[in-house]
Structure 1
Amino acid sequence: MAENQEYPQRYTLTAALPYTNGPIHIGHLAGVYVPADIYARYLRLTGKDVLFVCGSDEHGVAISMKAKKEGVSPKQIIDKYHSIIKKSFADFGITFDNYSRTSAEIHHKTASDFFKKLYEQDDFIEETTAQLYDEEAQQFLADRFVTGICPKCGHEEAYGDQCENCGSSLNATDLINPKSTITGSVPTTKETKHWFLPLDRYEGFLRKYILEGHKNDWKPNVYGQCKSWIDGGLEPRAVTRDLDWGIPVPVEGAEGKVLYVWFDAPIGYISSTKEWADREGRDWEPYWKDEGTKLVHFIGKDNIVFHCIIFPSILKAHGDFILADNVPANEFLNLEGNKLSTSKNWAVWLHEYLEEFPDMQDVLRYTLTANAPETKDNDFTWKDFQARNNNELVAIFGNFINRVAVLTHKYYDGVVPEPSDFTKVDQETLETLRNYPETISSSIDRYRFREASQELMNLARLGNKYLADEEPWKVVKEDEGRVKTIMFVALQIAAGLAVLSEPFLPFTSRKLKKILKVRSSTSAALGTGSVETSINTGEVEIQWKHVGINEILLPPSHQLNNAELLFRKVEDEEIQKQLEKLESTKKSNQNASEEINNPMPQKDTITFDDFTKLDMRVGTIVEAEKMAKTKKLMVLKVDTGLDTRTIVSGIAESYSAEEIMGKKVTVLVNLAPRALRGVESEGMILMTENTEGKLVFLNPDEDGVGNGLAIS
Structure 2
Amino acid sequence: MDDDDPKLPISGKRNILITSALPYVNNVPHLGNIIGCVLSADVYARYCRLRGYNAIYICGTDEYGTATETKALEENRTPREICDKYHAIHKEVYDWFDISFDQFGRTSTPQHTQVCQEIFNKLWENKLISENTIQQLYCDTCNKFLADRLVEGSCPLCNYDSARGDQCESCGKLLNPTELIAPRCKVCQTTPEIRDTDHLFIDLPKLKAQLEAYINGTSVRGSWSRNAVQTTNAWIREGLQQRCITRDLKWGVPVPHEKYKDKVFYVWFDAPIGYVSITSCYTSEWEQWWKNPKNAELYQFMGKDNVPFHTVMFPSTQLGTGENWTLMKTVSVTEYLTYQGGKFSKSKGVGLFGNDVKDTNIPVEVWRYYLLINRPEVSDTSFEWEDLQAKLNDELLKNLGNFVNRVVSFIAKPENIGYGSIIPDAPGAESHQLTMSLSEKVGKLVEEYVEAMEKVKLKQGLKTAMLISGEGNAYLQTSEFWKLYKEDKPSCAIVVRSAAGLVHLLARLLEPFMPSFSHEVFKQLNLPPHFSLSDERAEVLQASRPWEILPPSHRIGTPQPLFKELKDEEVQQYKARFAGSQV
Q: TM-score, normalised by structure 2?
A: 0.93
Q: Does the CA contact (< 8 Å) of 2:446 and 2:543 recur in 1?
A: yes
Question: Which residue of the partner structure matches residue 559 of structure 2?
Answer: 563
- Kindly indicate whether structure 1 or structure 2 has the higher relative contact order, using CA contacts under 8 Å at least 6 residues apart: 2
Question: Which residue of the partner structure matches residue 188 of structure 1?
Answer: 193
- 1:546–1:486 Cα change, 3 Å: closer
| Residue of structure 2 aligned with 1:418, choices 425, 436, 448 | 425
Q: Over residues 584-607 of structure 1, what are the superposed CA-to-partner deviations in whole Å (9 max), with x where a residue is unaligned?
A: 4324xxxxxxxxxxxxxxxxxxxx
- 1:191–1:110 Cα change, 3 Å: same
Question: Which residue of the partner structure matches residue 395 of structure 1?
Answer: 398
Q: Does the CA contact (< 8 Å) of 1:13 and 1:52 recur in 2?
A: yes
Question: Which residue of the partner structure matches residue 225 of structure 2?
Answer: 219
Gapped runs of 5+ residues in structure 2?
Answer: 1-8
> Which aligned pairs between 1:36-75 and structure 2 lie closer than 5 A?
36-75=41-80
Question: Which residue of the partner structure matches residue 601 of structure 1?
Answer: none
Gapped runs of 5+ residues in structure 1?
Answer: 531-542, 588-712
- 1:346–1:319 Cα change, 3 Å: farther
| Residue of structure 1 aligned with 2:478, choices 461, 469, 473 | 469
Secondary structure of 1:348 counterpart: coil
- 1:175–1:564 Cα change, 3 Å: same
1:312 is the counterpart of 2:301 = no
Q: Over residues 204-233 of structure 1, what are the superposed CA-to-partner deviations in whole Å (9 max), with x where a residue is unaligned?
A: 222222135425722221111111110111
Secondary structure of 1:412 counterpart: coil
| Residue of structure 1 aligned with 2:116, choices 94, 100, 111 | 111
Q: How far apart are the structure 1 equivalents of 2:179 and 2:530?
A: 53
Secondary structure of 1:247 counterpart: coil
- 1:41–1:73 Cα change, 3 Å: same
> Which aligned pairs between 1:66-465 and structure 2 lie closer than 5 A?
66-215=71-220, 217-278=223-284, 283-291=285-293, 292-320=295-323, 321-357=325-361, 360-410=363-413, 411-422=418-429, 423-465=432-474
Deviation, 1:345, is 3.3
Q: CA RMSD in A?
A: 2.1
Q: How far apart are the structure 1 equivalents of 2:535 and 2:328?
A: 30
| Residue of structure 2 aligned with 1:529, choices 533, 537, 562 | 537
Deviation, 1:91, is 1.9
Deviation, 1:520, is 5.3
Question: Which residue of the partner structure matches residue 581 of structure 1?
Answer: 577
User: Rg: which structure is higher?
Assistant: 1
Deviation, 1:545, is 6.5
Secondary structure of 1:327 counterpart: strand
Question: Which residue of the partner structure matches residue 647 of structure 1?
Answer: none
Deviation, 1:42, is 0.3
Q: How far apart are the structure 2 equivalents of 1:487 and 1:6?
A: 43
Q: How far apart are the structure 1 equivalents of 2:501 and 2:200?
A: 62
Q: Does the CA contact (< 8 Å) of 1:215 and 1:223 recur in 2?
A: no
Secondary structure of 2:152 counterpart: strand
Q: How far apart are the structure 2 equivalents of 1:550 and 1:491?
A: 8
Q: How far apart are the structure 1 equivalents of 2:71 and 2:393?
A: 39
Q: Over residues 428-449 of structure 1, what are the superposed CA-to-partner deviations in whole Å (9 max), with x where a residue is unaligned?
A: 1122222333211111122221
Deviation, 1:133, is 1.4
Secondary structure of 2:259 counterpart: coil
Amino acid at match of 2:314: F
Secondary structure of 1:246 counterpart: coil
Deviation, 1:116, is 2.3
Aligned length: 566
The percent of aligned pairs where both chains have the same amino acid is: 36
1:504 is the counterpart of 2:502 = no
Q: Over residues 677-704 of structure 1, what are the superposed CA-to-partner deviations in whole Å (9 max), with x where a residue is unaligned?
A: xxxxxxxxxxxxxxxxxxxxxxxxxxxx
- 1:523–1:459 Cα change, 3 Å: closer
Q: How far apart are the structure 1 equivalents of 2:466 and 2:535?
A: 28
Deviation, 1:163, is 2.1
